[in-house]
Structure 1
Amino acid sequence: MEKHYCVVIIGAGIAGLSCAKYLIENDIHDFIIIEANNQIGGRCETIPLMEHQIELGTEILQGDQSNNPLYQLADEHHLIDYSNNEFDRDDCFHDEDGESIDED
């Protein structure tokens, strides 16, 4: 039996997931998300690097991003750090405890 939906969301990246969240918040539940890959998150994913895990995807949010769904999610979970506006290219990678990882 075929199932019909009022809304079809193409892609389970941040935009697709934000769309689904918006629909649910507005009491719309008759939708489906179609994703080509075997994981959700789009370009956001975790990969192993030696004995560490590296997060890929958006790492820096800059400027007025109040309409950016990723910014809104980070702000909602108190993940925005305004203490340092300088980008240190020698200190790019951190482990899950926040400690710097050498580029070697």
Structure 2
Amino acid sequence: MKESFKMINNKILVTPRIKEEISNIHYLFMCELIEDLEVQRDYIQIFTLRASAEGLQEIEHSQKEPAYKKVYQFYTTHPVNGTIYVAIEEKYSVMMFGDEY
């Protein structure tokens, strides 16, 4: 499912690590946040994921130009910690962890 989600008329490629560590729920949620962005989209979207012991997932979605930041929280059975970048290009986009950038 992860390879076929359309965004901005292109395909999102994911790294093997994203495929392994990020659930479809997290993936789809982040893609929806990018698609529904109400400000001009920067070519780099940043997601900072923080997990609590109680299963609360916090996702901070941000970009640099124009400046944007919004925080979301939800409960999940698979909370994740890390920073994920989505590099948006004309023909395709790439989703990767920050240390893969």
**TM-score, normalized by length of structure 1?**
0.22
**TM-score, normalized by length of structure 2?**
0.22
Q: Which has the larger radius of gyration?
A: 1
The structure carrying a bigger helix percent of its residues is: 2
Point out which structure has higher relative CO (alpha carbons under 8 A, 6+ apart): 2
The structure carrying a bigger strand percent of its residues is: 2
